[in-house]
Amino acid sequence: MRVFVLGNASRPGVTEEAERLLPFLREQCEVVLVDLRQEADLSQLDADLTLVLGGDGAILRAARQMGYRQRPVLGVNLGKLGFLADISPEELRDCFSCVIREEFRVTHHLMFESIVEGPGEDTTFLGLNEIAIQNGPPFSMIEMDLIIDGEAVSRYSGDGIIISTPIGSTAHSLAAGGPILGQELAAFVVTPICAHTLTNRPLVDSADKMYTIAMRRAGANTFLVLDGQEQIPLTQAHRVTVRRAPVCFQLVKVPGRSPYRTLRDKLHWGTQPHYRNEHSTAG
């Protein structure tokens, strides 16, 4: 098996963990590339598996780094939450023999293309989680029109808007009040951020449609934010369109791991709440 090893070297412990893991990995498989800065051009290289060290942010970068040649990704969590990177380094050592024998399931997930139209050349970006249109200082309200397949749907005034994939539904969209979608659904969720009317609610619709945000009023520091990591300045003259990408993100699920187990583990579903002793006094 040929393996890419990618990771976020800026996260504490990633470089050290890579140094501990690499001798083990090289005994088990062919390590084609080690890139802990996620800067290498992968277009001319091939691998059967991409091992990502870090957290979900490192996996989002890896998905964009692989571009239109996606490989199955196994994420090793060295961060905090880890919805995508859901196994520890110790669990990796325990299950890697199963990985080498290809005793795992690969799930396929919606990715998006975001086309930014405006003054100058149009640009297209590939992403996995979401796009968010947000305002910076002086944090004045922005105004946008949502157009789906050419039909005007709604006008939003507020702090911004998020268009998320099912994978991204447990990230920024969830924090803004959006729903959790099944990870393998072919759908987008549109979530307003602090909309200036109580009638605006999250919208879930098909990934086979085109979602366009036409800027009507933008602040001095309005940005399109891709996967929470890349920022593109926007003005009132811009339009942003989101559509299904022609490639899917591929996530390796080793035996014993499932999306529902991850939700239970990370969101503590089914556990009893912990209350302070009612009779305790502050010290």
Q: Model confidence over 165-186: pLDDT tens digits?
A: 999 999 999 999 999 999 999 9
Which of the residues are catalytic?
A: 56
Compute and round to an integer the Cα radius of gyration of the chain.
21
Task: Compute, in degrees rounded to 10, the torsion defined by CA atoms 11, 100, 103, 261.
Answer: -10
The three-point CA angle 159-162-164 to 5° equals 165
| DSSP symbol at 260 | H
| Residue 147, CA distances (Å) to 150, 156, 157, 221, 245 in order | 6, 11, 15, 23, 19
Average pLDDT of the residues of the chain: 92
pLDDT in tens, the chain (283 residues): 999 999 999 888 999 999 999 999 999 999 999 999 999 999 889 999 999 999 899 999 999 999 999 999 999 998 776 788 878 999 999 999 999 999 999 999 999 999 999 998 899 999 999 999 999 888 889 999 999 999 999 999 999 999 999 999 999 999 999 999 999 999 999 999 999 988 889 999 999 999 999 999 998 899 999 999 999 999 999 999 999 999 999 999 987 777 787 788 778 787 776 666 655 554 4
Q: Give me the residue label for tokens 């297209």.
A: 124
CB atoms within 10 A of CB 113: 15
Q: Half-sphere exposure of 76 toward its Cβ, with a 13 Å CA cutoff?
A: 25
> How much is the pTM?
0.91
Q: Which amino acid is at 282?
A: A
Adjacent-strand bridge partners of 114: 125, 242
CA 265 distance to own-chain centroid: 19
Task: Compute, in degrees rounded to 10, the torsion defined by CA atoms 44, 242, 168, 135.
Answer: 110
CA distance 6 to 86: 16
pLDDT tens across 212-243, in order? 999 999 988 999 999 999 999 999 999 999 99
Domains and CATH numbers, the chain: 2-104+254-267 (3.40.50.10330), 111-246 (2.60.200.30)
Q: Are 106 and 250 in contact (CB under 8 A)?
A: yes
Q: Which of 127, 21, 27, 113 is nearest to 74 (CA)?
A: 21
CB atoms within 10 A of CB 233: 14
